Structure formats: structure tokens, C-alpha cells
Amino acid sequence: MQTTFPQLLLKHAAERPDATAMREKEYGIWQTWSWKDAAETVRHLACGLLALGFQRGESLALIGDNRPHLYMGLVAVQSLGGIPVPLYQDAVASEMAFVMEDAEVHFLFAEDQEQVDKLLEVRETVPGMAHIIYDDPRGLRNYEHPGLISTEKLMALGADWDRSHQGAWDAQVSANRPEDVSVILYTSGTTGKPKGVCQTHASFIASAQGGVEVDGLHPGDNVISYLPPAWVGDHLFSLAQWLVAGFTINCPESASTVAIDLREIGPSYYFAPPRIFESMLTSVSIRMEDAAASKRWLYRKCMELARRVGADILDGKPVGLWDRLLYRLGNIAIYGPLRNVLGLSRIRVAYTAGAAIGPDLFRFFRSIGINLKQLYGQTETCAYVCIQKDGQVKLNSVGQAAPGIELKIADSGEVLVRGVSVLKEYYRRPDATAEVIDAEGYFHTGDAGVLDEDGHLRIIDRAKDVGKLLDGAIFAPNYIENKLKFFPQVKEAVCFGHGRNQVCAFINIDYEAVGNWAERQGLPYGGYLDLASKPQVLQLVADCIAQVNADLAAEPGMAGTQVARFLVLHKELDPDDDELTRTRKVRRNFIAEKYAVLVDALYAGRTEQFIETQVRFEDGRTGSVSATIKICDAKTFVPVKAAA
């Protein structure tokens, strides 16, 4: 078995030179790279870097959308014994500056003019950023900055260097070892500054092999690569599994065309965080609200049937003949067309990871015939700890330990992991490494969980977020938030309650879904703030919370954590304002501090509260938004006693 990513690429190029390795949609047309093309491009990119003076062990930062040259650039750097450092494409200059300094970056790859401009701004304050390679030349014709070079010129330079240094690149590839660091991925920084996670070729390749083995992935599979390349999930699915299984990755034309490109490609293998599936469900709900009454009735009836038997049929469990017949008819009328509209009609395997997915959302997709499963992991574990196997999917678990992984629950309830995917170290942070890897080699995940009798892991919440109300009831905010986000009207929710007498919540409405609803109601509005403050919208949110509270009242031990009071925030939570991470995870402690006046108002029993908030725009400018926010009481329910 080949042991490093560049060696895997060369293996495919030798064995399947003309097979399709990747596609990119440009100007409406799909462009194709064979494995032979990909290997040659990687070779020329790498030799171009050598011509510029790139040294073994150096870091190269990459920032941009999912593009073939970005993925091939990653492998080119690895082929030289260098370390790629992917960055989030929507990161602002200050965030990028931290990584440049921390990872000691001298070489950079930028997708286009927007990213080049940000890097040039960072270079004014961060010394050593000598070479900036850009992929898309549009808008950069008159840029005369030192060290700026296009990928086209870099590859031409590399081809010349390769001809005059016969065998030099091959020797570089042969010198790489599986235990070498293959990438530094920076954590999302929910509790502080991001840390650089050093993962090896061996760890990511073993993780990819485990996934390939469990789901029978093969060269005929197709994947659409659209998630941030800096996210560990994309690195596993769009790079590691691509090179291990040899399937085809497809890069969309732009972020705005992903839905269209998804339908065109019809991937057989798909991966997305819960927020993507939430947005899909929201779009379905909006379409159905605009449909004729007869179609809404048929959709409701079919979904009631799907909720009851759909997942069982998918898992091959016994289902009555009459229900099977009705489900087939529902598949013709509703489920099949729905999968097609979502671009999931050819899906054989779909995964979600990166955050907890609400059981209702999970059930919806499985009920309409999409083999959606959960994958559990973190940046420090190559996104690979637990996998749900076909026929063994439980809605409230993330599956069993993946091949090569050992699980243990500490006395504190924290999930501990040991095995092939665990990080080598945090970059230049031996203190932080020692904090998370104990003497037995177990990585401390920071998640609270339990193992059931079948070895399935159930994640309760982040260990630091699990708390107790004053009456002793266990408070798991993420569990409640996921229930709230199942409703298409709710885009984000943040719950509070630890050390308090009751649970209260901040709500972000989904502007598109609620705006569509308001238009059908003949309700005029002048933007997010105006819409969020409408009494009718507050009532709409109150109805959603009431349904969640009714569910909680019926769950053992959860009745005491019903949402008692809520408010709809005057602005959307935004990574640029540090309220969310770049992977769209809530920075709960930061939000609690930033909006302390609102939290205090919720618990003080006030009915409204004025607030003025500083916001940061995409171009770096700052401003403020102010509002008097209405605070509402939610409908709660008497606990439902379990049947004897």
C-alpha cells in the first residue's frame, strides 16, 4: 500500500491514467482532469515552488474556494515534504495574520483578486510573506507587487526546472514518510485563538481507508466538493478519500451555483454539515408553502407515512405490505421528485458531521429514502471517530467506533479516543498537546457522551456546555437548540440556563423563510430588523418554541429544560462579528458576554430591552445597529408521565 498522498496520486496516474480524477465547472462547462493530468500538474506546481526556493519542512498557506488547482496545490506542497495550511476563504485579514505568524508562512496560494488583496494587506504587518501565487488572473493584470506570480507562470517555470533537474522531484516524493506532517488545520477557535492541528499522511490515509471500507467506496463514485477546504471534513472527503478510493471530485462553478451543479452531477456520495441539510429542508418548506392546497395535502400525508415507515424500509426492516405499497406510490409522487430537486437522486451514501444534527432533521432525510448517516470526529481526529454502518443507524447516536479507533468514557462523562486518526501534536504548542492527550494515548474530545449496549456513542453536548438548572435538572443547550433549528423559520438558536432557574433563548429567524411567509400574509417589512420585530413573527417563533416544549415535556428528564422566555435578535449572528466560528458553530460564551444586557433582561422578567451593537462589514468597515427588542414568555407544558 502506498503511504503518502503524492504516492497515492502517482499510483492512480500509473494504473488509470485516462480515468477522470476531477472536474470543474467554468463558464457553464465542465472541465475535466484525468489522473495523468492531475499528476503532471502537481509535478509542475511542485517544481515551480522549488524554482522559487521552497524548502522541505516549510509551510504554504492556501486560501480560496474549491478549485482543482487548490487541491493539486495541496498535494504539490506535500510532495516536497512541505506542509499545506488551508485557510477559510471568508476569513478577514486579522484572522489570516494570526495564522501567517503562527505557522511561519512564506509562500501563499490565493484563488483570485479578492484573496490576493487580503494577503497584500496582511503582508504590510506580517513580515516574510515572500511569494503569493494566484489562480484566477481576472483583475490582477496591472498588479506589480513583488513576489506575485500566477499558477500558469509557476507551472511553466516548474516545467523548465523539471527538465533541467531530471529526477529531482521524484527523489523528493520518495523521501516522504507516512509519519510526516501532511497538513496543519486550524481549529475553529470556539473558546479562544485557533490552534494548528498537525496531522500526518498516515493518520488521514488510515481514516480515509476506514470510511472506504465501511461504505464500499470505489472509483466509480462521484463527490461534489463545495465545503471550505480549510475544514477537516472537506480534507477527509475531498482529498484523503479521493486519493484512497480514486473516485471523481467535482468543483462547482461558485458558491451560489452549488444547488444547480449538485443536480447536474448527481453525486453518489455526499457530505454536508447539519446547517446544509437545515437549509435544504427550509427550501423544501418554502416551496410547499407556495404550492396549491391539493399538493400541500398530498405532501403532508406522504410525509406522515414516510416518518412512520420510511427509515425502516431504507434499513431493510419488516414493514407491512400495504405500507410498502403506499410508500412506493409516495416515492413516485413526492419522495423521488423531492430527492431530484435537492440533487440527491443518485445518492448511495450521505454523511453529516461537524455539529450535532437534530433527530427530527435526521429522520426527515432518511424517511424520504436518502441514506443519510452520521460521522463523528474533530479536527484533532481527522473527523474520524465513529461511523454509522448501513442497517445499524440510530437517530440519537453517532454510530460505533470506526475501524482503527478505541472509545472510552471517562468518569466525568467525557469521550476519550485513541487510534489511527489522533493528531500528532498542536503546532508549537506542547503545553496544549499535553492537555488533550493523556499518558495512555487517549485524546480528550471535550464532548460529553454515553455508550449504549451495542457500542453506539451518543453525544450529549460539549462537556463545557452541559450544566444544571438550580433545581438540579441536566441542561444540554445544544440538544434544545437543534430541536428549535428543525423549524425552517429558525436559522440559529442560543440557549442559556446553567445556574439559572429556567431556560431562556436567543433566536435568529431565517430571513428567506420568514420573509416568504410574511409576503404570503401580506405583511410588509423593510429588512431583517423590521421583520424580526413584527408581532406576527414573534408569534410564529412562539409557536415553534411551544412545539419544542411539548416534545421536551414528554421526554424523561427533559421537562424541566423547556424554554421559558425568548427574544428574537435584532441582527443575524455572524462569523465576522466573532459570534460564530468559520464553521458556523455558536461561540456561546462570547455571545453571553456580548449580549449580557439581553441575558439579564430575559431573567429579570422585562418585556423589552434597548441594545446597540457594533457590527463589522465584509470590507472591514464597522458600524452599529440598535433596537428595542421585545421579550416574550413561551408556552410550557406539564411533564408527561411515562406509561406504567
Give the CATH number, domain containing residue 554.
3.30.300.30
Say yes or no to pLDDT of 88 above 80.
yes
Any long-range contacts for 322-331 (C-beta under 8 Å, 24+ apart)?
330/302, 330/305, 330/306, 331/369
Of 272, 295, 318, the domain-final residue = 272
Angle, helices 511-520 vs 274-289, to 10°: value is 10
Residue-wise pLDDT tens digits, 193-217: 789 999 999 999 999 999 999 999 9
Average pLDDT over residues 20-45: 96
Any domain includes 375 = no
Task: Tell me which residue of 146, 144, 141, 91 sits closest to 115, measured CA to CA.
Answer: 91
Are the CB atoms for 122 and 16 separated by under 8 Å?
no
* φ/ψ of residue 110, rounded to 5: -125, 140
Average pLDDT over residues 428-433: 95
Any domain includes 108 = yes
Distance of alpha carbon 551 from alpha carbon 32, whole angstroms: 50
Are the CB atoms for 59 and 85 separated by under 8 Å?
yes
Ranges assigned E (strand) in 289-343 = none
Average pLDDT over residues 486-507: 94
Structure confidence at residue 644 as a pLDDT band (50, 70, 90): very low
Report the pLDDT value the prediction gives residue 460, as an integer from 0 to 100: 80
Average pLDDT over residues 453-478: 87
Task: Tell me which residue of 106, 44, 27 sits closest to 79, measured CA to CA.
Answer: 44
Structure confidence at residue 555 as a pLDDT band (50, 70, 90): confident
SS3 587: coil
Are the CB atoms for 174 and 8 separated by under 8 Å?
no
Ranges assigned E (strand) in 203-356 = 222-224, 248-251, 269-272, 349-352
Say yes or no to pLDDT of 643 above 70.
no
* φ/ψ of residue 366, rounded to 5: -70, -35
Any domain includes 396 = no
Task: Tell me which residue of 539, 487, 543 sits closest to 518, measured CA to CA.
Answer: 539
Any domain includes 58 = yes
Say yes or no to pLDDT of 388 above 50.
yes
The CATH number that applies at residue 13 is: 3.40.50.12780
Report the pLDDT value the prediction gives residue 190, as an integer from 0 to 100: 54
Any domain includes 440 = no
Of 237, 257, 272, the domain-final residue = 272
Of 226, 252, 272, the domain-final residue = 272
- For 295, the enclosing helix (H) or strand (E) is helix 293-305
The number of CA neighbours under 13 Å toward the Cβ of 535 is 0
Structure confidence at residue 620 as a pLDDT band (50, 70, 90): low
Any domain includes 443 = no
The cell for 394 is: 440510530
Are the CB atoms for 239 and 233 separated by under 8 Å?
no
Are the CB atoms for 89 and 111 separated by under 8 Å?
yes
Any domain includes 381 = no
- Structural domain of residue 124, as residue ranges? 5-272
Any domain includes 529 = yes
Task: Tell me which residue of 405, 410, 400 sits closest to 438, measured CA to CA.
Answer: 410
Angle, helices 359-367 vs 274-289, to 10°: value is 70
Could you give the number of structural domains in the chain? 2
Say yes or no to pLDDT of 629 above 60.
yes
Residues 6+ apart with CB under 8 A from 162: 43, 44, 47, 168, 169
Burial 328-346, CB ≥16 within 10 A → b, else e:
eebbeebbeebbeebbbbe
Report the pLDDT value the prediction gives residue 2, as an integer from 0 to 100: 55
